[in-house]
Structure 1
Amino acid sequence: MNDVRDDSLKQVFTRHRGRLLLTVLLLWTTMLAGTALLGLSGGFLTAAALAGAAGLGSGFNFFSPSAGIRGLTMARIVSRYFEKLVGHDVTLRIARDLRVWFFRRALPLAPARLAGVRTGELLARLMSDIGEVDGLLVRAIGPLLALGGVSLVAVLSSWLIYPPAALLLAVLALVIGVGVPWLTVRGAGAHERDRALHRAQLRAQSFEGLEGAADLTALHAREDWNLRVLVAAKQLRSRDRRRRWRLVAGNALHGVCAGGGLVGMLWVALHGFERGAIDAALAAALVFLTVALIELWAGIGLAWQSWLSGRVAAARLEAIVDQPAGVADAEVPVAVPAQPATLTFERVSFRWPGQARALLDGVELRLEPGERMAIRGDSGSGKTTLSSLLLRLWDPDAGRVLYGGQDIRSLAQADWHRQIAWLPQNAPVFAGSIADNLRLGDAQASDEQLWQVLADVRLHAWAERLGGLQAWVGENGATMSAGQARRLALARALLRGSPILLLDEPTEGLDVDTAHALLRDMVAALNGRSLVMITHDALPDGIVHRSYRLHEGALGLA
């Protein structure tokens, strides 16, 4: 757990620092070669034109500049190719690692800390925000570093040719490369955060509308929801428009400064030529060098905007994963009992953070190995809270949950979770084969074990008809009935081999005959394991040994 919490967003990029530095170096080489090429070409063409007009062709040095032009052209082509190759490679690697980092940091927070975050909001952060962050290299970091390096080399080179030109280039670099982008993005941080929030809201509403389309149709609420999505889209569009106008204003200011700077360089170069400080070819080279730099500086505003968007997206990602976990491992965890042991709730009380009412108040409960019990209660009575404490998603405010006499807070979470097979309400069936779904319970299970657990839940014949263990079950179990999907999820839970099976509303949404058949088959497949069933349905005789009812925080026999 500590290793996971210490895994920062910065470290994701640090792991690729070699490729990142190589990409920046190649980008710098490409820009430098292009800038030098335009400056050298301008000086060469000017010198050639003057030599031809004066009839001095025999004394004109044609070969050295032309060789330089060909060399710079090839260098620019080669560096551009490898810059794209290495840059896209490291970007894809970062995109992969960012998603792994987000899942690794977020999963320990589920469901306790993530329960209050909308699924669409998480989807927005996983897609939009990570997309902003993983492109920081090619859209922001690389261009800004390379442009800074090229500008420095250009100013130093100009100083060797004609110092006044170098001073003018330095001023232009500060004005166009720093001043104009600063004016463009000044105060844009709040706008970017607002834009990211509305982008996430639109994605969340769209996702939830698609996910709940059947319910919206049944409630005749589709038009109202469509209107909400339309309003969210218009709000995002207005913020995108404001962002575009800010960039347009920055480009216009850049154009004004660039035009003035180019005229200034032309004057400085002509003045130097008139004084005899530089010849015509070098004067032209300075002008063309300025043209090349102005063209490169045009991308600084967009790079700064991408940097700002990336920082906002990174902050949104860290806001999710930097939440404290609901529970923490003991510094020195004790070993879990080797054999199935007694589970005990000892005067357990709990209230959700920020709520005054205690959902559990002094609950006492004892579950012997192999015993089966049901816990009933009205909605909101605390049944799900009790299962959350059993799973140790939260710790009690008072009292203890014991296993084999050991407080489960003294056990490593991974060790404790291996003692429980949890079948939540509406347990998902994933897009994949029958075997893929079952091996989520035990990745090392053999085909024989899979067939056996299918037989235990009476799905053996169904699996054979479908085509065997590699048969595709479809998105969300599209090829299965509700009863078959629930049996497959039960088989997955049984395959874990944990001594305690925790079921949350296992028969919800099933007709009575299907539900009772599922429960009887489940009891037969338990093979001596303990059972805790959260339910509000009536149960057939023989399913559980004892039945409790939660009411006003207290647990009593039903």
Structure 2
Amino acid sequence: MSAAQRDPLRAVFARHLPRLLLTVLLLWTTMLAGTALLGLSGGFLTAAALAGAAGLGSGFNFFSPSAGIRGLTMARIVSRYFEKLVGHDVTLRIARDARVWFFRRALPLAPARLGSTRTGELLARLLGDIAEVDGLFVRALGPLCALAALSLVAIGSAWLILPQAAALLAAMAVLVGVGVPWLGVRGRAGEERDRAAHRTQLRNLSFEGIEGAADLAALDALDHWQGRVEVAARQLRARDRRRRWRLLAGTTLHGVVTGGGLLGMLALALSSHEQGRVDAPMAAGLVFLTVAMIELWAGLGLAWQALQSGQVSVSRLQAIVDQPPMVSEAASPQPLPTAAEAVCWEGVSFAWKDGGRSVLDGVDLLLQPGRRIAIRGDSGSGKTTLSSLLLRLHDPTSGRVTHGGTDICHYAQDDWHRQLAWLPQHAPVFAGSVSDNLRLGDPHASDARLWAVLERVRLGDWARAVGGLQGWVGENGATLSAGQARRLALARALLREAPILILDEPTEGLDVDAAHALLADLSALLDGRSLLVITHDPLPAGVVDQVYRLQGGRLHAVEPG
């Protein structure tokens, strides 16, 4: 059984099944109390009106029905309160766990699989679709189950009074509970998917417009982008309007059916009373029971629509997380060597598509323990691909990457990743404190160790100036210079104390002085680690032991510098 099969979305709901069942029970109790209250009140008022003033003093049972009315009123209030309390609690719990589930399933797909999905699209799945899913039980399945159970109770109660009334109530339940909603949602799954796609498109445009606002302003393209957002908003609004009209049509049809059914029940109750088959209070109770059920059935359209929207959202979430990972976990992982070992690319070739152009073509490379190697080349030459194979974000099309003679695909991925410290080209700096950013490298690092690594990357004075380890760092390093941001990310990588350090374009975006100052410090920071530098810029002398140029998918040794 695969990991995906062991971790389905329904397991999130199963984890909260007791609370979900309690919510349905409380909802059913609230509906039952309200229905019984209306039926009892109608019968009681009818009996009181027929009894008159004389009847109230001679044999008319006033106290039992009134006590029942008060009891049902209190029961309805209490069950309604706890139904809302438990329902909102379980919805929030499911929302939390559904997001954790989505992250747990999606993160192993990053960056290889998720790299082809727009950030706005992922946000739409994370926010919009999970918002539809987390209330799926409480807004759709719960009310539908409670109404179905209550309808059976109402039909059974009507049968005890008048079988013909029970038959009419059953016919109404089938028409209103199944027929009308079925007409409303029949063939509408495609429209719901289209609406979800347009909602995602609007989120994409809004998010990307905010992220790229500075570039859009510089290019004088803000008006054009806002026009695209407005078009997307109008398209979504049109689909929302169509959805509301569909709901309105269903509500109208619901009103016609329930109105006809109520008239039929009134006529049946009157004729049965005239024929002596049922007394007046019971006849009135049947009519008021029908009114109560009609009021409850009014929410069926929304419940069915919520069910359909939730199903579409579930399929959209599954479409993301059910993608197969680019690399698979070893069935029987081998233990890693305890001593530092050489990493070797042996005849490695790689193509992004089967039969496509090879980015790497028979690459052979040896990275000995403590050795420092740089890979240079033009943009798109495959430098980052070479490092991604070491990170095991992908597996070679042919050839292999070994560590101590063992193919790294035979190691558990978590074990192998602990051997690597990676400074990516666009290393993120997160909104939070200095220590929050650093402890991503080692969550258990002491404050003394954090200060030591800050001093080593020449950020000690800066950290003290911003308030120490609790000093605030803006999102994407907004409060740092480019050089400070790269040094902070480097400090985070160094905290891992992994034997192999990978730097992907470490001087990207830095001026020449900042770049050379950062590179000049590298040799003193490595502490005997192996170093693989991916860069398109020349390196100062002494930074690395060997430089290779990647061209045409092959490596060519060049002089350092």
Cα distance change, pair 504–5 in 1 and its aligned pair in 2 (3 A) = farther
**Alignment deviations for residues 275-303 of structure 1 (CA, whole Å, 9 cap, x no partner):** 10111111111001000000100000110
For 2:311, the aligned partner's letter is R
**Alignment deviations for residues 454-506 of structure 1 (CA, whole Å, 9 cap, x no partner):** 01100011111211111111222222111111100000000000011111111
Shift of the alpha carbon at 1:136? 0.8
SS at match of 2:277: coil
**Alignment deviations for residues 184-227 of structure 1 (CA, whole Å, 9 cap, x no partner):** 11111000000001101110111011111112222222222111
Distance 2:13 2:7 in 1: 11
1:268 matched to 2:268: yes
Distance 2:93 2:47 in 1: 48
**Alignment deviations for residues 250-276 of structure 1 (CA, whole Å, 9 cap, x no partner):** 000011111101100000100110110
1:219-298 matches, cutoff 5 A: 219-298=219-298
For 1:127, the aligned partner's letter is L
Distance 2:58 2:191 in 1: 63
- Aligned 8 A contact 1:5 1:105 in 2: no
**Alignment deviations for residues 16-57 of structure 1 (CA, whole Å, 9 cap, x no partner):** 111111110010000010001000000000110111167554
Alignment correspondent of 1:207: 207
Distance 1:133 1:468 in 2: 42
- Aligned 8 A contact 1:51 1:57 in 2: no
Alignment correspondent of 1:191: 191
SS at match of 2:451: helix
Alignment correspondent of 1:345: 345
- Aligned 8 A contact 2:4 2:322 in 1: no
Alignment correspondent of 1:173: 173
Which range is displaced more, 181-190 or 213-222?
213-222
Cα distance change, pair 534–221 in 1 and its aligned pair in 2 (3 A) = same
Distance 1:396 1:141 in 2: 47
1:153-164 matches, cutoff 5 A: 153-164=153-164
Alignment correspondent of 1:380: 380
Distance 1:27 1:244 in 2: 26
Shift of the alpha carbon at 1:138? 2.0
Alignment correspondent of 1:540: 540
- Aligned 8 A contact 1:35 1:292 in 2: yes
For 1:141, the aligned partner's letter is L
Alignment correspondent of 2:106: 106
Gaps (5+ residues) in structure 1? Answer: none
SS at match of 1:329: coil
For 2:373, the aligned partner's letter is M
For 1:539, the aligned partner's letter is L
Distance 1:4 1:525 in 2: 41
Distance 2:459 2:145 in 1: 61
SS at match of 1:115: helix
For 2:282, the aligned partner's letter is L
1:141 matched to 2:151: no
Alignment correspondent of 1:526: 526
Alignment correspondent of 2:481: 481
- Aligned 8 A contact 1:216 1:222 in 2: yes
Distance 1:405 1:449 in 2: 34
Shift of the alpha carbon at 1:4? 5.8
Shift of the alpha carbon at 1:6? 1.7
Taking only the aligned residue pairs, the percentage that are identical comes to: 71
TM-score scaled to structure 1, two decimals?
Answer: 0.98
Gaps (5+ residues) in structure 2? Answer: none
- Aligned 8 A contact 1:377 1:549 in 2: yes
Distance 1:279 1:56 in 2: 18
**Alignment deviations for residues 137-180 of structure 1 (CA, whole Å, 9 cap, x no partner):** 22101110000011000000000011110000000000111111
RMSD of aligned C-alpha atoms? 1.2
Alignment correspondent of 2:328: 328
- Aligned 8 A contact 1:4 1:104 in 2: no
Paired residue total: 558
For 2:421, the aligned partner's letter is A
For 1:23, the aligned partner's letter is T
- Aligned 8 A contact 1:39 1:289 in 2: yes
SS at match of 2:421: strand
**Alignment deviations for residues 358-409 of structure 1 (CA, whole Å, 9 cap, x no partner):** 1011000001111111111111111121111110011111101011111001
For 1:530, the aligned partner's letter is S
Shift of the alpha carbon at 1:3? 4.3
Distance 2:406 2:124 in 1: 42
Alignment correspondent of 1:116: 116
Alignment correspondent of 2:68: 68
- Aligned 8 A contact 1:121 1:200 in 2: yes
Alignment correspondent of 1:439: 439
For 1:323, the aligned partner's letter is Q
